[in-house]
Amino acid sequence: MNYIQTEIDGVWLIEPKVIRDERGYFMEAFKEEEFKMHIGDVHFIQDNESKSSFGVLRGLHYQKGEYCQSKLVRVIKGKVLDVAVDLRQSSPTFGKYVSAELSEENQRQFFIPRGFAHGFLVLSEEAIFIYKVDNAYAPQAEASIRFNDETIGIEWPIAEEQLLLSPKDKTAPSFRDATYFE
């Protein structure tokens, strides 16, 4: 696997080794010891999966305080633009974002540490998105920031009128009005 640091400290791109033969492919999608050596000792406790159609945008979400989550995300069907926003108020990149195109073709993974808002936009007809988290689901601690907040300025490649969002995401607060971790 290749572990690639992104422009935001703590966020990594991971490219697994895909072994192809006439039957298809095999890859080691996650190896705890290797992950620990390159990124750190993250103890994942829950696996999530969601399926979405073209133009679905899920995010920007995070869990607050002691319930915040690290996420190791990947796409097993289709293609998404995945985005992580730094909400660590002591970080030099506070309010900045980093994005990556994740797909079943490139098999790339994104590691997003605690302290970030996360979201993705589906670029293919359909996408199945799977991810590991290191803290359990805590609805009482859920928070969100609107996807098109001007301060963050994420460049989404699909026009707003084509997007499909949950009611929660349609009414998410601005970055300025959001409540953070610390």
Interface ranges with ligand T46 (CB under 6 A): 48, 50, 58-59, 61, 71, 118-120, 137, 166
63 versus 107: smaller Cβ distance to ligand T46: 63
Tell me which of 3, 131, 137, 180 is the catalytic residue: 131
The least CB distance from residue 160 to ligand T46, in Å, is 17
Positive or negative CA dihedral for 103, 104, 106, 108? positive
The least CB distance from residue 177 to ligand T46, in Å, is 18
The least CB distance from residue 25 to ligand T46, in Å, is 26
19 contacts 26 by C-beta, under 8 angstroms: yes
CA angle 160, 92, 97 (to 5 degrees): 20
Closest to 118 in 3D by CA, of 147, 138, 78, 139: 147
What is d(CA 96, CA 87) in angstroms, rounded to the nearest whole number? 8
Closest to 121 in 3D by CA, of 54, 57, 25, 78: 57
What is d(CA 119, CA 81) in angstroms, rounded to the nearest whole number? 9
107 versus 144: smaller Cβ distance to ligand T46: 144
- Does the active-site annotation cover 137? no
Tell me which of 38, 61, 118, 137 is the catalytic residue: 61
92 versus 139: smaller Cβ distance to ligand T46: 139
- Does the active-site annotation cover 61? yes
The least CB distance from residue 166 to ligand T46, in Å, is 5
Contacts of 4 (CB under 8 A, 6+ apart): 12, 13, 14, 15
35 versus 67: smaller Cβ distance to ligand T46: 67
CB burial string 30-47: b at 16+ within 10 A, e below: eeeeebeebbeebebeee
List, by residue number, the catalytic residues: 61, 131
